[in-house]
A = this chain, B = another copy of it.
Amino acid sequence: MAGLDPELINNVTWRIPNALTIVGSRSGEERNAMTTSWVSQLSMEPVCIGVSVEAEAVTARLIREGGSFTVNLWNAEDSRALVKYAKPADVVDGAIRGRDVHDAPSGAPVFDDAIAWMDCTVRHEFPLGSHVVFVGEVGALDLVDPDARAASMFDTRMRYGGVARR
């Protein structure tokens, strides 16, 4: 990307219509949740989901230590909640910033308000400089609200991607 205009990079990459989900992670009794947009299924056999998070993020450490993560799909009509978790947040009294969570089979937290969730056991970790991709095999999942539409980035004013901010 030598010589590429950072503003152009932002302008193009911000147009990729990403999902907007909340990723839950846990190491020991430390449980955390963070809004994450770089999320996609990556394979069918096995059924694996990938999430790319900042290498220095609390979530990266917890996923690495705990060996699992959850992906919580969120109701697009309730997108304000997604802004809450733009910065990582810990569990207090069974809730994260006022939203109740419970433990998925892997132990990572799932939100009671998720419209659907997947519990993923880490199979691969791919370091990519500023970020790290965790690939997790789906071991449990549920569809809680079949009628809700899952939120994407464009349901909010949030933008994520492009070049690193200084």
Question: How many whole Å from A60's CB to the nearest CB in chain B?
Answer: 12
Chain A interface SS verdict (over half) = strand
The answer to whether A47 touches B152, judged by C-beta atoms less than 8 angstroms apart, is no
Question: How many whole Å from A80's CB to the nearest CB in chain B?
Answer: 17
The answer to whether A44 touches B161, judged by C-beta atoms less than 8 angstroms apart, is yes
Contacts A/B (CB < 8 Å), 21 sampled: A1-B46, A1-B47, A4-B47, A4-B138, A4-B139, A4-B140, A4-B141, A9-B138, A12-B117, A12-B142, A15-B116, A15-B150, A16-B19, A38-B40, A40-B50, A43-B129, A45-B164, A46-B128, A50-B50, A126-B126, A126-B135
Q: Which 5 residue pairs spanning A and B have beta carbons closest together?
A: A43-B128, A45-B130, A17-B152, A43-B131, A44-B164
